[in-house]
Chains A and B, each alone.
Chain A
Amino acid sequence: MNAIETIELTKRYGKRIAVDQLNLTVGTGEVFGFLGPNGAGKTTTIAMLLGLVKPTKGRALVLGYDVQREPALALRRVGAMIEAPAFYPYLSGADNLRVLARAGGIPLERVQRVLETVELSERARDKVSTYSQGMKQRLAIAAALLPDPELIMLDEPTNGLDPAGTVEIRNLIRELAASGRTILLCSHLLHEVEQLCQRVAIMKDGKLIASGDVATLLRRGQGVRVRVQGDPGPAVSLLRTLTWVGSVMVQGETIFVNAPADRAGEINALLIKADIIVAEIGASNSSLEEFFLTVTKAEV
């Protein structure tokens, strides 16, 4: 059984399509990266998976249950942190969790447990209004852990955290993954996703534009890195005319060419022939970040 399965999942707001016929599967026990630029439709998709937003078309199955038809069963063992952390500012951290535990019929003993997990026990009695952004972030993760979830959806869990906090949360996600839970992770920190996730899906303008194994995608994303003297424009225009080049993008002074690395020499020769001075050329060891930028920014 898949932990998450969407079938032609679509959400329209008037004429705008936020999510367009999304077919996505996340296997049980997987750590799955869900990526895309701002406004790609990731949060709307998660909101549909949590029953907060009603799909215009299609279905969303969570832990084998249809979220629209059987929301209580689907979400019973799901923990989620969606958008910015949201709490009652006049209550303490512990009381906020108690409210959620009571609402969800979760034993109150879990509150102390999850506070310890995110290392917030010492400030548990303080009002949330006195918490830093990082503490609120950790409290939100504690709230997601309350139901002892099989599936955890984390939307930007390291937002607002300092480097030490980011490492802590990354380790926590690793521990959760090691305990066999399924994790759907949305993050702009692609280095983090690359380290944590086995598979990723990339959305853009509501559509799924790439998905698969991180290693496979990175191989697909390998290419040639070129730096030319002066304006890169003519070089980009020339490279785009080549049929065996997938995409060309510029980042700073560097041109990333989506083409087999062994054709770097051929690219060099073509550029020289066109009177373009090549300052540097070589195989690009594609990171997830580069791959992400290549597929989401097909044009410069």
Chain B
Amino acid sequence: MLSTRPRLRATLLRILQAFPVVVGVVVISFVLTRALPGDPAVYFAGASADQESIEQVRVAMGLDKPILQQFVIYIGDLLQGDLGQSLSTGRPVAVDLANRLPASLELTLTALLLAIVIAVPLGVLAATRPGSWVDHLCRVVVTAGVSLPTFFTGILLIYILYYLLGVAPSPLGRLDFIYLSPEHITGFYLIDAALVGDWETWWGAAKQLMLPAVTMALFTLAPIARMTRAAMLSALSADFIRTAKAAGLSNRKVLYSYAFRNALLPVVTTLGMVFSFALGANVLVEKVFAWPGIGSYAVEALVVSDYAAVQGFVLTMALLFVALNLCIDLLYTAIDPRIGFLSQ
């Protein structure tokens, strides 16, 4: 069956290819949890522990076993969704992360959407009108965008829009205290509020989300705009565009269904890299805006040396990123029918 359906075959093959990466990610995060400074048993036993209780902790944590056996135990725990216990919250790390993940995803995805909506038209316009003010604007945005420290942009926006102009709400979390958080359905406040039809809360959540999302979008805009411009320029200089123009097709048709569709491929590839940056920037933006996502959770855990929480966070982020790259590659096959045959 697979040999007759090359596309399905390519898709399955790509999913299979993700496995070694997942294994690698798990190995690295295991090494990170075992590379704690000094003796982890001493650390987890606490400051006032004597030799005997340290030994007890060592046995309880399985640190007395050979490293390979420890790795097998670690994998077993992971398969059961056990990322260890957080020292600071006292709850399992997996539960904490699951509670806070929607907040991070809502922020990151909104920001990416915002960035795409602005950057792609900007890149297309810059490529179709080289030398115009749009082109110059695009160049400035691209160069400035990669030089902006996200945390600094966030603070600057807070100062201008909250302190000076007073148009933005105070940068403290997902919802002002005058609103009740919407009923938990998906964990995304915007979606939950819309589902129950509570538009006042929806607006409140949207207002809180705006500033952090814009901060992150400014950061992610640059690579997308740069790639769109470059891809459009090379697509527009291709022979088939000249042919299409010579054949008398309308400008709009040539631009959108011929050039843009071809330019979309490298742009989608860039999105994977941009998402990696966005997940990193997420940590900084969440700290600036006191956003209760997994990034600020990790930062709080770092401050009190809560290692299980930090490593759980690193692993979650990596798995999220692997999953997203997989989605992008699959999307790629959907956009470009040739890919399925080429990557056999």
Please say whether chains A and B are actual partners in one complex: no
B interface residues, Cβ below 8 angstroms from A: none
